């Protein structure tokens, strides 16, 4: 990739929308590389790390978080104009995040459920990925992103090659690492087969099923997997639906799975006991 000035370092910004900050923290968690990174990039805007501010233009802009409130709509368009390469980082920015579960629900009920005065809360009815609004040049998946993939992307930026963000199943990583399949070996439902790898197969390595935080891989046969989950292992349709209703639920084809399997009815507290009166009772309806 070429940049404005010959010999100049790429000017980098890191901004956030609705998110937990974990992905931008991953930048600061590159303990071994951080001081080398700042020698290859001019970090001109990164509020979590520096008080020095800039409004761009950026050669590379890392965007964390989902578009989730009215002001975000204009802000992302404006930021897109001010950067050459826009990289979304993490499940919120690439898939809408866990907060996108409200996209199936009743937004007003959501607000009222948490806030005593919902009329003061300004959020959009849906939490959506950045790519729903502007052109995205590259994306780092994951909740949070993987530090190795982040370094790979930075390296690709420096060397000008295509980042090797390989689109294959988590299973591939499991098998290479000699991790025993938790579905076959233990009967634990696992989304690894339909999820893009990059995490290093953490969940199966830790004895549990993948929960899809890197999002669906290309041509993910989520429907086939959902049928298998329902047919084997004594699971209800709702159980299967909740498997897909995770941190990347709003990405197709997981989104269709959640919808086809009944949406998020369970989140509306059907069958729930009455709300408790004590503690923060006044903060709920």
Q: What is the DSSP letter of 99?
A: G
Tokens of 77: 């368009």
What's the closest the beta carbon of residue 8 comes to another protein, in angstroms? Answer: 16
Which residue, 5 or 31, has its beta carbon nearer to another protein? 31
Give the separation between CA 140 and CA 229, rounded to whole angstroms.
28
Which residue, 33 or 260, has its beta carbon nearer to another protein? 33
Give the separation between CA 190 and CA 33, rounded to whole angstroms.
33
Which residue, 77 or 285, has its beta carbon nearer to another protein? 285
What's the closest the beta carbon of residue 209 comes to another protein, in angstroms? Answer: 10
Contact 66, 129 (CB under 8 A): yes
What's the closest the beta carbon of residue 81 comes to another protein, in angstroms? Answer: 16
What's the closest the beta carbon of residue 129 comes to another protein, in angstroms? Answer: 14
Ordered DSSP codes for 148-215: HHHHHHHHHHHHTPPP-----BHHHHHHHHTPPPHHHHH-----GGGBB--S-SHHHHTTS----TT-
Which residue, 5 or 120, has its beta carbon nearer to another protein? 120
Please name which of 130, 131, 111, 113 lies closest in space to residue 122, comparing C-alpha atoms.
111
What's the closest the beta carbon of residue 210 comes to another protein, in angstroms? Answer: 9
What's the closest the beta carbon of residue 117 comes to another protein, in angstroms? Answer: 5
Which residue, 5 or 107, has its beta carbon nearer to another protein? 107
The alpha carbon dihedral of 278, 280, 283, 285 has a sign of negative
Which residue, 81 or 161, has its beta carbon nearer to another protein? 161
Give the separation between CA 183 and CA 204, rounded to whole angstroms.
9
């Amino acid at each position: 990739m070429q940049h404005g000035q010959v010999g100049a370092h790429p000017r980098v910004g890191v901004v956030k929308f609705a998110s937990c900050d974990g992905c931008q923290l991953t930048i600061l968690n590159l303990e071994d590389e951080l001081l080398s990174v700042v020698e290859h990039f001019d970090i001109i805007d990164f509020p979590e790390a520096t008080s020095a501010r800039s409004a761009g233009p950026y050669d590379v802009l890392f965007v964390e978080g989902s578009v989730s409130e009215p002001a975000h709509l204009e802000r992302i368009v404006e930021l897109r104009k001010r950067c050459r390469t826009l990289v979304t980082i993490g499940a919120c920015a690439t898939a809408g995040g866990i907060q996108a579960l409200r996209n199936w629900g009743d937004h007003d009920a959501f607000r009222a459920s948490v806030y005593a005065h919902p009329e003061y809360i300004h959020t959009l009815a849906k939490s959506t990925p950045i790519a729903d609004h502007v052109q995205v040049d590259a994306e780092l998946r994951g909740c949070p992103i993987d530090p190795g993939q982040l370094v790979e992307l930075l390296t690709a930026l420096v060397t000008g090659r295509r980042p090797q963000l390989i689109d294959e199943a988590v299973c591939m990583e499991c098998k290479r690492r000699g991790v025993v399949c938790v579905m076959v070996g233990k009967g634990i439902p696992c989304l690894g087969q339909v999820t893009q790898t990059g995490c290093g197969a953490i969940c199966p390595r830790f004895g549990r099923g993948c929960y899809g935080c890197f999002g669906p891989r290309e041509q993910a046969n989520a429907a086939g997997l959902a049928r298998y989950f329902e047919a084997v292992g004594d699971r209800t349709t709702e159980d299967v639906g909740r498997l897909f209703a995770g941190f990347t639920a709003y990405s197709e084809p997981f989104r269709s799975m959640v919808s086809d399997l009944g949406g998020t009815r369970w989140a509306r507290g059907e069958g729930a006991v009455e709300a408790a009166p004590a503690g923060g009772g006044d903060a709920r309806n």
